[in-house]
């Protein structure tokens, strides 16, 4: 059972961020309320996307709004993201890993197949920033954060901030 009212932004290294999310069994009022709450969290934190694990819920669901507005939010239930094309390195941030903006290698294009909140399946081709967002949010559903994707040099460069997040999580 999901207590939507208790949903908050989860920060690295919270356990829910490090494990694969479970499929959404059915799209009901609770899932719709969760998407509303996730939208509030994303907008409050000035993000472009948010995965359910980032709201403390281990389900295969994320939202994206390319312009960060409530009007453009789209929900992706049980998505499959297939990257394609060349790799490109670009700076990336994550609401669950604040203060760290490493360069992450991602594919320039991606295809997503997901279900919307009305239960309709859709498929879209994406490139550029949209493709990057899809890959980033999809990582969260597989228990990955940008910390997992960072190279050794980036981990060293950001070690103080990573340690701060770990210490805060451990209550130090």
List residues with catalytic annotation: 137
CA gyration radius for the chain? 15
Alpha-carbon dihedral sign for residues 160, 162, 163, 169 = positive
Structure tokens at 161: 């901030």
CA proximity to 51, closest of 77, 80, 13, 25: 77
């Amino acid at each position: 059972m999901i207590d939507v009212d208790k949903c908050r932004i989860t920060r690295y290294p919270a356990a829910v961020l490090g494990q694969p999310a479970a499929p959404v069994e059915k799209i009901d009022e609770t899932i719709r309320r969760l998407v509303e709450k996730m939208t509030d969290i994303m907008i409050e934190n000035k993000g472009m996307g948010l995965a359910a694990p980032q709201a403390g819920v281990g389900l295969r669901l994320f939202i994206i709004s390319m312009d960060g507005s409530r009007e453009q939010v789209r929900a992706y239930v049980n998505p499959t993201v297939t990257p394609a094309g060349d790799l490109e390195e670009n700076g990336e941030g994550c609401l669950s890993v604040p203060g760290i903006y490493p360069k992450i290698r991602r594919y320039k294009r991606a295809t997503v197949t997901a279900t919307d909140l009305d239960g309709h399946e859709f498929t879209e081709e994406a490139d550029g920033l949209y493709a990057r967002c899809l890959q980033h949010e999809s990582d969260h559903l597989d228990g990955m954060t940008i910390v997992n994707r960072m190279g050794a040099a980036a981990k060293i460069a950001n070690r103080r901030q990573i340690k701060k997040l770990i210490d805060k999580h451990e209550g130090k």
